A = this chain, B = another copy of it.
Amino acid sequence: MTSKQGLKIAVIGGGSSYTPELVEGFILHHRELPVRELWLVDIEPGLRKLNIVGSLAKRMVEKSGLPIEVHLTTDRRKAIEGADFVSTQMRVGMLDARGRDESIPLKYGVIGQETTGPGGMMKALRTIPVLLDICRDMEELAPNAWLLNFTNPAGMVTEAILKYSNVRSIGLCNAPIGLIKQTSAKYQVAPDRVYAEFVGLNHLHWVTRVDVEGEDKLDELLADTAGYSASNVPAREWNPEFLQSLRALPSYYLKYFYMTDAMLEEQLESFHQGINRAEVVKRVEEELFELYSDPDLKEKPKQLEQRGGAFYSEAAVNLMRSLYNGTNDIQTLNVANRGTLPFLPEDASIEVNCVVTNNGPLPLPVTRIPRMAVGLIQAVKTYEQLAIDAAVTGDRGLAIQALAHHPLVPSVEVAIKMLDEMLEANKEYLPQFFGKTPAHP
């Protein structure tokens, strides 16, 4: 970090409804993170939203009186050029694609979820080539910048970047910070008095240690069968005997693996009732943009906090601050394994605690790997590796192997049939599978 006169930040997918939170973060922490230029980039079809959210951003900055320039653009390369940080928050295929990711698997009796299982794989196939395209730009125009990736499936996207580009990249999820906040609220202490050890992959972690003011609270937390949770995954109680013998708090995403039958039943029920999470989110978004359009609004509206992605922007600003200042504090990030989990490949992305130095994050050794979790971590990582390579090469055989080896898919036959339907449905976004050079948004 040598930008002495202030930082340039490019936000790809800047028209997102989350952007005001990010802007608020830049304003609040301007002293430690002196942003000079903030570039909000989006694609042509997102121009309306970019303008709404961009105007709000400008009003927020103006009110703050800080010397931050806000730029709105559809020229990604211009935004990236010379940036210190690039962050990405995008949805290739938008909410319609998400709807398909969630519904097609259900027809085959398989969990339909945005980031987990077949739905997550389709998202990866659509998203990874776009992210790598951004990396090509960064290698050329901002070779020393950090790419902070929020785009899901964040673990797979991060691993793809580690393997197929030279960009320095870190994957971020709001779940770890969510657990810290939830625990700090429960015990009425400041978040920095809670220390939790995370072990696993993105959306597939186990928490093996929770200290509150230096005292081990794992046993207490294991006694609470509600577990830790978030609004975007249905709440279901954990079996107490299971939780006790597991000796770790499972991520709420693990419900798709540990309660597959019940979660599937619930999804099918919603599906038959015509409930579609993607549609719900669409409506919430529309309401937010209506709010944002109010020319008198000059701050982040409260309603934003109720969305699933809470704390995303807080996590992002925290990370930028630590990288910029070399604070050597501990954050939970998606980074290259490099021996931290010795059973996984060196270049696998994992989600663990890291010390954030000004030379990048260093993963801390995990003090205990929950032995029960090893098989599932490896099984999902195998799927992830195959899916990443399928996304990059467009190799149908790899895609079959990825899906057939996913723990939630019951057989090779189902994998192949489901894949055929999903590829067809996503044809527009998967040029690599249809004999074309990828054309990105």
Contacts and interface: CB of A to CB of B under 8 A. Distances in A.
Interface of A: 1-2, 195, 209, 211, 214-215, 238-239, 241-242, 244-246, 258-262, 325-326, 328-330, 338-340, 342-344, 355, 357-359, 362-365, 367, 371-383, 385-386, 396-398, 400-401, 404-405, 407, 410-414, 416
Q: Which 10 A-B pairs have the closest CB atoms?
A: A245-B397, A375-B382, A378-B378, A375-B379, A379-B379, A343-B343, A214-B358, A261-B411, A242-B412, A372-B401
Nearest to A407: B407
Nearest to A244: B397
Nearest to A361: B365
Contact of A375 (B340, B359, B363, B383): B383
13 contacts: A195-B358, A214-B358, A242-B404, A245-B398, A259-B411, A328-B355, A330-B355, A339-B339, A340-B365, A343-B344, A355-B355, A365-B365, A375-B379
A407 B404 CA distance: 13
Contacts of A372: 382, 386, 401, 405
A411 B339 contact: no
Q: What is the total number of copies of this protein in its complex? A: 4
A414 B259 CA distance: 9
A194 to B, nearest CB: 11
B326 A329 contact: no
A426 to B, nearest CB: 19
Contacts of A262: 411, 413
A401 B241 contact: no
A376 B406 CA distance: 9
A396 B241 CA distance: 9
A267 B133 CA distance: 49
A330 B362 CA distance: 12
A343 B240 CA distance: 31
Contact of A239 (B325, B377, B413): B413
A197 B432 CA distance: 34
A380 B375 contact: yes
B362 A367 contact: yes
A433 to B, nearest CB: 14
B378 A260 contact: no
B344 A211 contact: no
A243 B385 CA distance: 19
Nearest to A374: B382
A339 B367 CA distance: 12
Contact of A413 (B261, B340, B376, B382): B261
Contacts of A383: 375
Given A246-B401, A401-B245, A261 B410 contact: yes
A377 B410 CA distance: 17
Which residue, A214, A377, A383, has most C-beta atoms of chain B within 10 A? Answer: A214
A248 to B, nearest CB: 11
Given A195-B326, A339-B342, 18 more contacts: A242-B401, A242-B412, A242-B416, A258-B404, A260-B411, A262-B411, A328-B330, A328-B355, A355-B355, A362-B364, A362-B367, A364-B364, A365-B365, A372-B386, A374-B382, A375-B379, A375-B405, A376-B405
